[in-house]
Amino acid sequence: MTTTEIHTLLHEQFDSAISATEPTVVDVARLIDVCQFLKSDPRLRFDFLNNISGVDYLETDAKKVAKAGFEPHLEVVYHLSSIAFAGRRFTLKVILPRWKDGIAGELPEVPTVNAVWRTADWHEREVYDLVGVRFTGHPDLRRILMADDWVGHPLRKDFEYPLEYHDIRCR
């Protein structure tokens, strides 16, 4: 089954919760239903979550903003594989605002897919830590790479590195 055929199947099954065109964008409110379908449907059997990545779409150069072609936002991208159908891969994503309810500093939220794929545990923690997306319902959402007292999320394009951290010069 091709990526286009999988996308069409998802669009038929979930209608407006799936983007009409590829790449496959899922409405955050239906993410868990879509993921469970991708894993359990016998035609698909995406039984392995390879990776979850967070992407920050923000153009910080004022001269390039008009040409950027997008509004600032975050994306959470899920990379799936089917062991049963060797070599079959699929990618879906969720588009989020940079800040929850437009309030700077309030992290956007996505439900955890940890109950669908256990490998999501550390991947979601990494995205939370580095990009600043809160995974609601996650059993242990805490920093995984940065120190517990680190302020901010270093893969956000507007992140400003501190001059010092625990009396160690960072720049």
The per-residue DSSP string of 98-114 comes to: SSGGG-TT---EEE--T
Per-residue confidence (pLDDT) for residue 63, from 0 to 100: 82
Q: What is the pLDDT of residue 43?
A: 96
Please state, in angstroms and rounded to a whole number, the distance separating the CA atoms of residues 32 and 112. 8
In this prediction, residue 13 carries a pLDDT of 95
The whole model's pTM is what?
Answer: 0.92
Domain total of the chain: 1
CATH number of the domain at 88, please: 3.30.460.80
Averages of pLDDT over runs of 10 residues in the chain (171 residues) are: 94 93 94 98 96 93 82 96 93 96 93 97 97 97 92 90 70 63
Sign of CA dihedral 111, 113, 115, 121: negative
* pLDDT given for residue 64 in this prediction: 84
Domain that holds residue 27: 3-169
